A = this chain, B = another copy of it.
Amino acid sequence: MTKNALKQRVFDVISKAEEGDRASRAFDLTVMALILLSVAMIVLESFADLAARFGTLFSVCEAIIAAVFTAEYALCIWTADLLYPGEEHPWRKYVLSPMALVDLLAIAPFYLPMLGIRFLRTLRLLRLFRLLRVFKLHRYFDALQIVVDVLRSSASQLIISIFLCLFVMLFSAIVMYTVENPVQPEQFPNVIASLWWAICTLTTVGYGDVYPVTAVGRLFASVISLVGIGIIAIPTGIIAAGFSTAINERGRRRDEDARLYCPYCGRRLGK
């Protein structure tokens, strides 16, 4: 087997599996299993007793997973010229692609402690990037594209509705602080604490750890709760309209060829 044929074979295997390509399929399943194992380990490590008993096992698994994904990352760079044929710097293009950056961030936490940076708490937070590996699954779901498209096309309206939401939250936090602080100084010590109440209320989560007790506070909270319905209704409405438009658009495109011309007289129809 020549070097080029080997490279082509490797590229086929690490790319999305085609029908009948057993090695490629096995590779994909292994990757998915390792992602799930990696996620499961983050969860299991958090149990103090499991961490104490199986700590070494977890470390070994982590090393193996990191090694596999590092190897895959290296192979992807090697075969980048097959992914982007005719590109001058194919591996540079690959390394800077969003997918590859996510892959790199997902591997990074494993190597960072080796660089001498051993701040434990920070490291544990960095490990969260490992979760981004899960996003690899999105290669397999085309429907995600529609969801992303809808969110992107209505992004400016969504941002404005989030801005309105934040304004209402800050406004109601300051009002509630002014009203409730003298009565419950330990529950509403400052505007930030009051903001916690405002967010819990406007998103209708309502933990019940902080709530108004004065008549004025309750009246205001009632009005804000009703506004909260609107705050939720606006982004829902924007997203619903986005999906409605996207689905109609697809349907229209499908029907367009068949409807634009009368198939008998050949004339273009009005619509």
Contacts and interface: CB of A to CB of B under 8 A. Distances in A.
A59 interface: no
Given A189-B48, A236-B240, A269-B270, A229 B248 contact: no
A37 B231 CA distance: 26
A29 interface: no
Contacts of A71: none
B241 A247 contact: yes
B230 A233 contact: no
Interface string A153-170: 000111111111101001
Contacts of A232: 229, 232-233, 236
B263 A264 contact: no
Given A46-B191, A196-B222, A228-B203, A160 B177 contact: no
A184 interface: no
Interface in A182-207: 189-192, 194-196, 199-201, 203-207
Contacts of A235: 229-230, 233
Nearest to A251: B245
B141 A160 contact: yes
Contacts of A259: 271
A99 interface: no
Given A43-B174, A237-B243, A271-B271, 12 more contacts: A43-B170, A46-B192, A141-B160, A196-B218, A196-B222, A206-B208, A232-B232, A237-B238, A241-B243, A241-B246, A245-B251, A262-B265
18 contacts: A43-B192, A48-B190, A128-B174, A134-B170, A141-B156, A141-B160, A143-B157, A143-B159, A157-B243, A206-B207, A229-B231, A232-B233, A233-B236, A233-B239, A237-B241, A240-B244, A245-B247, A265-B267
Interface of A: 39, 42-43, 46-48, 121, 124-125, 128, 131, 134-135, 137, 141-144, 146-147, 150, 156-165, 167, 170-171, 174-175, 177-178, 181, 189-192, 194-196, 199-201, 203-209, 211, 215, 218, 221-222, 225-226, 228-248, 251, 255, 258-259, 262-265, 267-271
